[in-house]
């Protein structure tokens, strides 16, 4: 099995924990409170910059 990939950077995971930090308070670990998602907008939008798929092995 291959190494785990980093969620934030183009590298293998080095278990730094940066991906577990709160978006609103980077001094605390995310506790899934949802405050970063709260808004008075009717919808949210994201920009997809890359789609990664697993390549099928040819036999």
Over residues 40-51, the pLDDT tens digits come to: 777 777 788 888
Residues 6+ apart with CB under 8 A from 9: none
What distance in Å separates the CA atoms of residue 30 and residue 17, rounded to the nearest whole number? 11
pLDDT of 59 higher than 60: no
In this prediction, residues 28-56 reach a mean pLDDT of 82
How confident is the prediction for the chain on average, in pLDDT? 84
In this prediction the pTM is 0.52
Binned at pLDDT 50, 70 and 90, residue 1 comes out as low
Higher-pLDDT residue of 3, 31: 31
């Amino acid at each position: 099995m291959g190494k785990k990939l980093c969620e934030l950077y183009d590298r293998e995971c080095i278990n730094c924990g940066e991906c577990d930090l709160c978006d609103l308070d980077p001094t605390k670990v995310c506790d899934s409170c949802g405050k970063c998602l709260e808004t008075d907008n009717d919808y949210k939008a994201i920009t997809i910059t890359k789609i990664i798929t697993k390549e099928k092995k040819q036999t």
